Amino acid sequence: MNALTSLFFPAEDDLDTRLRTVVRNTAPQWPLKSFIAVNPFMAMGGKDFAEAAVEIARTRGARLVPDVSLPEALPTLADAAGQAGGRPVAAFVTERISQWAAGYYDQGQAVWGNPWRDLPPFAAWRAEARIDRAPELWGMPGFRAMVAGLPGDPVAAAEDLLRTLNLPEAVEALYLQRLFGTVGGWAALLRHRDWSAMLAGGSDDGPRDLLVIRLAWDVLVARALTDEATINRWRAAICAAPPAVTPDLSGLEAREGRWRDALLRTLAQPAPDMPAPAVQAVFCIDVRSEPFRHALEQAWPAIETSGFAGFFGLPVTVLGVSGVRQPACPPLVRPHALVCEALPGTRDSLQPLRAAIDGLKRTGASALGYVESFGLGAAGSLIASGLGVKSARRAPDAALSIAAASAGPEAQARASLAAGLLKGAGLRQPRAALVVLVGHEGQSRNNPHAAGLHCGACGGRSGAVNARAAAMILNDPEVRAILKAQEGIDIPGKTWFAAAVHNTTTDELRLLDAEHIPGHLNGEKAAFEKAAATAGASVRRLRSPALGEAPTLKAFRGRAADPSQVRPEWGLAGCAGFIAAPRRLTRGKTLGGRIFLHSYEWGADDGFAVLEQILTAPVIVASWINLQYFASAAAPDVFGAGNKVLHNVVGGNLGVLEGNGGDLRLGLPMQSISDGQTLRHEALRLSVIVAAPTSAIDGVLSRHRSVRDLVENRWIHLFAMDDDGRVTARRTAAGWQAVA
């Protein structure tokens, strides 16, 4: 987690550093193609939840808890000017900055793009603002000249602008934070670029420049639209000491407690006996795996499931058949191996012609001809969608090859990945001859946020590729030889690792590369597939009322293939708990699909290395998901993406706008959180339950401040469970307390 710490806290104390400190308080948001869950408050872990809620209310205008005592958002100069003139000045400023950012960062929507993309962001903005007539036509005379008068260097410009405002330092930091929040969507997207740059050892000026641009707008708007008296009144208002409030969290605590008490009672039920398994199946810890695992074990008790992060420990980038490279691992990990997909034998001689014709609709003059020639062809799709005909063609699985990892001989590198996976997933000695690694994927059409239904641990992609790659590595005789020689991990020759993918939208489970499974496992394979089909049917029955869908496979497949469906599935809505424990303590218990379920056996964990890994990676990622849902449910206007029926994809794949414009939208759409009448995700903080000695847990917390902060500052709740499934103690800032 040291990487995480260094992502936030730079050292020196000049203005540039202060600006960068402000922007790093904003959490990143990934673009749509890799739309993974991020904790919107990740940089505030060092503050207590209640204290942060006050700060978020002041700088973002969002109320995380329903408490009237939370303060109003700080006014910006644009707010003050708007109030004085009775005009939507702040909205206009956000709109203009959003327009500029969409053009400058566009990833392929505009064929005639922003001409200044080669310049740094601030310089590019300044060049454009000296041409753009919009502010003046909207009623801000002399705006272009004022922009031209700003220094060309962003930090120098910020220095000039701030000097005219003459704010005390503490107020200035809050003010800048508030400004950044008014363009919070773009701020988060640019922070993602910064994040990627920092993982690679660099940094990106985009967020800082965006802040300076917003600052310039604020000051120039005030100059153009208001007088000195208004500015003075504003200064007095922003400098006034805020009333000291401590928001009341008791309601939130009570809701969390009610849900958790029921969970603890379920967990405390006696554990059933577990027979020796015929098949072991490793699922992702995603909350949608839990009901399926339960149903699978019910369908065939000789299956033993376990939970592990769905990227199976492979820090890989996937080079897809489309030629696009995309990381397929969690955001905290820097990918270093490459998995290449290839479709064998599909060279298409008509491809260039098809591409040429398709390109015609992208430029204005040629689109006229395109429409006359091919436009009528679209009537076919219209008729099909009008009749409700849905095609769910699935592309054939591509062949995979794994390119060399960064260090050491290739087989050696693979063996070390394999060792990490086997230890982390508790598979040092597989108990069954067939071990199935199950990745997961969502299925939806015409859905800008489709990646959010895929596996977050795989970078918002289907987990199928990671599962297949992991199985390939583990079945490799050369890898197994190295594992035996160097790690003392002896995998029996008859043991086979198979890959599979769990479609969380239809609850179908499909074995991948099944033709490679050796003949002696045919019986297990057939029985496993049968059990998976039974399990799918029973999970669909569970899910059907909440979706308002008939519990048949046909209905669920239709839903997944429906381009007008705004709720293909409920995703991770409802997520509220994380359990790291042996499966025997949770097996056979109905947990309601709200738990991230990680397998962990502390007795087999040498030096608690696996515990450390669980608390610093999967728990963090689960808390990111939980807090993303929390924020989108509690403050949908600020941290939610709005109404899907109004979404307008911007910049190719950067994100969505709601309606005509405004800021880039953050977080999850209303339809992912609510059924229109009631919230389907109740905003609860994650309760983490770990079956390990409290001393061992404390050992990890003492070494990892970021995790300790999350616990002690009440962003997550942490509990310890004993070997019988009883939760015995709770960790707070004051240490461990017994749980009655």
| Residues in 30-59 at the binding interface with another protein, rule: CB under 8 A | 32-33
What distance in Å separates the CA atoms of residue 638 and residue 292, rounded to the nearest whole number?
A: 34
Decide whether 259 or 370 has the Cβ nearer to another protein.
370
278/257 Cα distance (integer angstroms): 39
Residue of the chain from 139, 149, 272, 493 that contacts another protein (CB under 8 A): 139
**Which residues are CB-neighbours of 685 under 8 A, at least 6 positions away?**
49, 252, 256, 626, 627, 630, 714, 715, 716, 717
Going by DSSP bridges, is the β-strand pair 325-327/316-319 parallel, antiparallel, or unpaired? antiparallel
> 118 or 169, CB closer to another protein?
118
Q: Which of the residues 161 through 220 are near another protein (CB under 8 A)?
A: none
- Candidates 429, 564, 732, 737: give the one binding another protein (CB under 8 A): 564
Is position 552 an interface residue for another protein (rule: CB under 8 A)? no
Quick one: which H or E segment has residue 467? helix 464-475
The DSSP string of 231-278 is HHHHHHHHHSPPPP-----HHHHHHHHHHHHHHHHHHHSPPPP-PPPS
Of residues 103 and 335, the one with the C-beta less far from another protein:
103
Question: Judged by CB under 8 A, how many residues of this single chain contact another protein?
Answer: 97
| CB 505, min distance to another protein, A | 14
Strand 727-732 to strand 735-738: parallel, antiparallel, or no bridges (unpaired)?
A: antiparallel
By CB under 8 A, the residues from 373 to 432 that bind another protein are: 373-379, 381-383, 385-388
443, 560 Cβ separation under 8 angstroms: yes
List the interface residues with another protein, window 565-584 (CB under 8 A): 565-567
Interface with another protein by CB under 8 A: which range of 97-105, 208-216, 452-460, 596-604? 97-105
Cβ atoms of residues 189 and 31 within 8 Å: yes
Q: Can residue 652 be called a binding residue for another protein (CB under 8 A)?
A: yes
**Residue whose structure tokens are 């994380």:** 578
Residue span binding another protein (CB under 8 A) among the ranges 134-142, 183-191, 264-272, 725-733: 134-142
**Taking the complex as a whole, how short is the minimal distance between the CB of residue 444 and another protein, in angstroms?**
9
For 28, list phi and psi in degrees, rounded to 5: -75, 160
**237 scored as a contact of another protein (CB under 8 A):** no
Interacting span for another protein (CB under 8 A) from 21-29, 99-107, 221-229, 530-538: 99-107
Binder of another protein out of 675, 705, 706, 739 (CB under 8 A): 675
If one asks whether residue 141 binds another protein (CB under 8 A), the answer comes out as no
Q: Concatenate the DSSP letters of all residues of 675-730 into one string.
A: -SSSBSS---PPEEEE-S-HHHHHHHHHH-HHHHHHHHTTSSEEEEE-TTS-EEEE
Closer residue to another protein in complex, CB, 32/512: 32
Minimum CB distance to another protein smaller for 82 or for 313: 82
**Beta partners for residue 713, in sequence order:** none
What SS3 state is found at 537?
helix
> Which residues have C-beta within 8 Å of that of residue 531, sequence separation ≥ 6?
296, 299, 300, 303
Q: How far is the CB of 90 from another protein (least distance, A)?
A: 9
* Residue 264 binding another protein, by CB under 8 A: no
Within 13 Å, how many C-alpha atoms sit on residue 380's CB side?
4
Between 239 and 383, CB nearer to another protein: 383
Contacting residue, 3, 15, 134, 392, with another protein by CB under 8 A: 134
Q: Which amino acid is at 457?
A: A
Residue from 5, 99, 694, 728 that binds another protein (CB under 8 A)? 99
Q: How far is the CB of 533 from another protein (least distance, A)?
A: 27
Residues 277-296 that bind another protein (CB under 8 A): none
Closest CA to 264 of 725, 731, 576: 725
Q: Which run of H or of E encompasses 626?
A: helix 618-634
Place of tokens 């569970």: 542
Part of the chain binding another protein (CB under 8 A), chosen from 115-123, 220-228, 507-515, 594-602: 115-123
**Quick check: 563 binds another protein (CB under 8 A)?**
yes
Q: Is 740 in the site for another protein (CB under 8 A)?
A: no
Binding of another protein by 115 (CB under 8 A):
yes
Site string for another protein, 599-618 (x = CB under 8 A): --------------------
CA distances from 298 to 139, 304, 465, 538 (A): 69, 10, 28, 10
Question: Whole-angstrom Cα distance, residue 571 to residue 586?
Answer: 22
Which residues are CB-neighbours of 333 under 8 A, at least 6 positions away?
315
- Angle made by CA atoms 629, 631, 637, in degrees to the nearest 5: 115
User: Taking the CA atoms of the chain, what radius of gyration do you get in angstroms?
Assistant: 27
* Alpha carbons 10 and 119: distance in angstroms, whole number: 25
Report which secondary-structure segment, H or E, holds 440.
strand 434-441
Binding test (CB under 8 A) with another protein, winner from 11, 170, 276, 324: 324
The minimum distance between CB 361 and another protein, in angstroms, equals: 8
Specify the residue, 76 or 305, whose C-beta has the smaller distance to another protein.
Answer: 76
Scan residues 63-92 and list those touching another protein (CB under 8 A): 82, 86-88, 91
Q: Which of 2, 12, 133, 607 binds another protein (CB under 8 A)?
A: 133
User: Which residue number, 128 or 508, has a Cβ lying nearer to another protein?
Assistant: 128
Report the alpha-carbon distance of residue 141 to residue 14 in Å, rounded: 34
Q: Give the Å distances, CA to CA, from 636 to 452, 455, 666, 681.
A: 17, 23, 9, 12
Question: In the bound complex, what is the minimum distance in angstroms from residue 249's beta carbon to another protein?
Answer: 30
Smallest distance, another protein to C-beta of residue 189, A? 13
Span from 220-228, 515-523, 592-600, 672-680 in contact with another protein (CB under 8 A): 672-680
Q: Closest CB to another protein among 423 and 559? A: 559
**In the complex, minimum distance from the CB of residue 379 to another protein, in angstroms, rounded to a whole number:** 4
Contact call for residue 251 and another protein (CB under 8 A) = no
The reply on whether position 107 binds another protein by CB under 8 A is yes
Query: Are 550 and 564 in contact, with CB atoms under 8 Å apart?
Result: no
Interface segment toward another protein; rule CB under 8 A; list 103-111, 144-152, 523-531, 685-693:
103-111
Which residues between 352 and 381 bind another protein (CB under 8 A)? Answer: 352-353, 356-357, 359-360, 362-379, 381
Binders of another protein among residues 624 to 643 (CB under 8 A) are 643
Closest approach of another protein to the CB of residue 133, in Å: 5
Among 671, 672, 687, 713, binds another protein (CB under 8 A): 671
Which helix (DSSP H) or strand (DSSP E) does residue 35 occupy?
none
Identify the residue among 66, 113, 242, 735 touching another protein (CB under 8 A). 113
Residues in the chain: 740
User: Element (H or E) spanning 449, and its range?
Assistant: none
Measured from the CB atom, is 94 or 416 closer to another protein?
94
State the nearest-atom distance from the C-beta of 673 to another protein, in Å: 11
CB of residue 183 to another protein, shortest distance in Å: 15
Residue 735 interacting with another protein (CB under 8 A): no
318 has which bridge partners? 326, 339
* Contact pick of 25, 114, 226, 613 for another protein (by CB under 8 A): 114
Q: What residues have CB less than 8 Å from 631, skipping those under 6 apart? A: 40, 41, 62, 64, 638, 639, 640, 667
User: Cα angle at 306 between 399 and 422, to 5 degrees?
Assistant: 65
